[in-house]
Amino acid sequence: MTRQRILITGASSGLGAAMAREFARLGRDLALCARRLEPLQALQTELQAAHGVRVVIAPLDVDDHDSVAPTVEQLAQALGGLDRIIVNAGIGGGRRIGTGHWALNKQTAITNYVSALVQCEAAVTYFRAQQHGHLVTVSSLSAKRGLGGHITNYAASKAALAALSEGIRADLMNTPIRVTTLFPGFIRTPLNEGLTHMPFAVDVTTGARALVRAIEREPAHASVPTWPWAPLGFLMQHLPLSWVSRLI
């Protein structure tokens, strides 16, 4: 089944913009939203000129929870419906627990989990009404295990999102609505440009193509890119924590 009309949150840069480019290359119509309108406008012009697809845009701060569902409805009407919604918006900020950075860690938890919950609520409400659709959430390989250092809270927020996605999948198991959870490994984006330790990292274009290939298969979950992250994800869940901390 071709999911022709796709909404992507956090689409102004990084993985969101790169996935939009890849879906446009496949001829899909897009609804794109993000906090910053100017990059969205530039991306809209680029994709429509390069691929002749329909692209509608809207500003959206996913932390403004009351605006999420209305924006989804607005974009759905502008595009003539939605077949797939990708909950991609997130932030990578975080510091070691107990080192005086409560506000930053709190904001990371809100954006990566609570705001993702709000997006899932809007998406599933829309899909229930039309009785079909594909919800995609972008978690992280770091969600596979509790991790130390600056990534502790980020990993926990992405683990919460993965658990939420699985629960939604269980609830919708006997319906025409599909749910996919993505677990990306290290993909170089503006979100992580300050990191120096990124084993097996790939560039954003390569990473986005791998993500889109996985999304198109509509699996329950996928580690991306498959190599080496599928086997490493398995090892992360089963090796002693002292070993895992050396891998990531």
Structure confidence by residue, pLDDT tens digits, 209-225: 999 999 999 999 999 98
Residue range 45-63: mean pLDDT, rounded: 97
Which among 80, 48, 74, 78 is positioned nearest to 60, based on CA atoms? 74
What values do phi and psi take at 165, rounded to 5? -60, -40
- For residue 154, indicate whether it is catalytic: yes
Residue range 116-126, pLDDT digits in tens: 999 999 999 99
Domains and CATH numbers, the chain: 5-247 (3.40.50.720)
Q: What is the pLDDT of residue 225?
A: 87
Q: Which of 23, 154, 183, 229 is catalytic?
A: 154
Distances 248 to 7, 29, 165, 182, 195 between C-alpha atoms, Å: 31, 36, 24, 18, 12
pLDDT at residue 157 is higher than 90 = yes
Find the mean pLDDT for residues 147-169. Answer: 92
For residue 56, the cross-strand partners are 31
